[in-house]
Amino acid sequence: MRIDLHAHSTASDGTDTPEQLMAAAAAAGLDVIAITDHDSTRGWDEAACGLPAGLTVVRGTELSCAHHGESVDGAPGRRTSLHMLAYLFDPTAQAFIDERIRLREDRRRRGREIVDRMIADGLPITWERVSELAGDGAVGRPHMARVLVEQGVVTSVNEAFDKYLRDSSRYFVDKADTDVFAAIALTLAAGGVPVFAHPFARRRGRVVSEAVIADLAAAGLAGIEVDHPDHVPEDRDALRAIAANLGLIATGSSDYHGTNKTTPLAAELTAPDQYERLLGAATSPTRPLVGAASA
Ligand code: AMP
Ligand code: FE
Ligand code: FE
Ligand code: ZN
């Protein structure tokens, strides 16, 4: 069984439509693929309709979250950005829907602000084009990166991040996020399974400690992504040990984004026993779907 539990489509910042993503997963020899767009379930229906025979899709999302450290002497606690995957939750759970809408609307506000800052500096980018690329999906920095590539300002999405879109860039604007404990609670209340995405992706900024992961586990976190393209071997070893210590499910995933990133589907995989644990943890009516064999 070849299982990849984290991939993006045009419902957020991937470049394959949900149907193309399912076809690509089958072509990559996967048995199970998860669709986990940022702050959105918009790709779920199309993925279900376009499902190749024998391929299983696990429907989920990836939420932008923040962890706030304990405040010391009245000073605010240290804030760390992180991503939480939520699998197999009930997409009609209203509180969770409201939170996803809040996050997506703020992505648009923030996207406009980044574009305005770039325009003020003379960069050839427009909100209209960014918005067109994003369609009705969640807007993200990769959409802006693609406009800069189209305009010949840079030659790749990666270069656009390095030069203009990284967190420390003068054009960077923060977006709304969900407190990580609230994200776990919303996921559990909707019958879903919360898994901490790329916990030690240090290239993206500060990461949380093992003690914080223990706090999240106590709050109901079900698993952590161990094998991820942004994790070096030592971090994978450390995360595998943390998962074992805390009784957490250990997953592996490509975090595929189509041509917005260089990692192919199935670059990292989840062990079948860990996948079974994840299925066992879900309590909502949302089940994995299997593509029917054509007649
Ligand atoms: P945003 O969600 O708008 O804050 O943008 C973050 C997203 O940009 C991540 O989910 C990745 O998909 C993507 N990303 C971050 N860094 C890079 C990079 N260096 N090259 C390509 N994509 C990146
Ligand atoms: Fe992304
Ligand atoms: Fe992520
Ligand atoms: Zn992702």
Element holding 132 (H helix, E strand)? helix 127-134
d(CA 160, CA 146): 8
Domains and CATH numbers, the chain: 3-103+175-290 (3.20.20.140), 114-165 (1.10.150.650)
203: pLDDT confidence band, cut at 50, 70 and 90?
A: confident
Cα 232 to ligand 2 centroid, rounded to whole Å: 19
Cα 33 to ligand 4 centroid, rounded to whole Å: 13
Mean pLDDT of 66-82: 88
Q: Say which DSSP state 76 is in.
A: P
Two tokens at 117?
């800052």
What are the φ and ψ backbone dihedral angles of 104, each rounded to 5 degrees?
Answer: -70, -40
pLDDT digits (tens, 9 = 90+) for 13-47: 999 999 999 999 999 999 999 999 999 999 999 99
Hey, whose CA ends up nearest to atom 18 of ligand 1? Answer: 158
Whether 59 has a pLDDT exceeding 90, the answer reads yes
The whole-chain average pLDDT of the chain stands at 97
Q: Which residues surround ligand 3, an ion (CB under 5 A)?
A: 83, 197
Between CA 12 and CA 32, with CA 275 as vertex, the angle to 5 degrees is 55
Q: Of the bound ligands, which one is closest to the alpha carbon of residue 259? A: 1
Q: Name the β-bridge partners of 36.
A: 60
pLDDT digits (tens, 9 = 90+) for 90-113: 999 999 999 999 999 999 999 999
Two tokens at 7?
């991939």
d(CA 91, CA 30): 25
How much is the pLDDT for 263?
97
Cα 171 to ligand 2 centroid, rounded to whole Å: 18
Whether 295 has a pLDDT exceeding 70, the answer reads no
- Decide whether any atom of ligand 1 lies within 6 Å of the 13 Cβ: yes
What are the φ and ψ backbone dihedral angles of 4, each rounded to 5 degrees?
Answer: -120, 115
Helices (H), 44-139: 44-49, 94-120, 127-134
Mean pLDDT of 129-146: 97
Mean pLDDT of 204-214: 94
Cα 245 to ligand 2 centroid, rounded to whole Å: 29
89: nearest Cα among 195, 161, 15: 195
Hey, whose CA ends up nearest to atom 13 of ligand 1? Answer: 142
Q: Taking the model in full, what pTM does it have?
A: 0.96
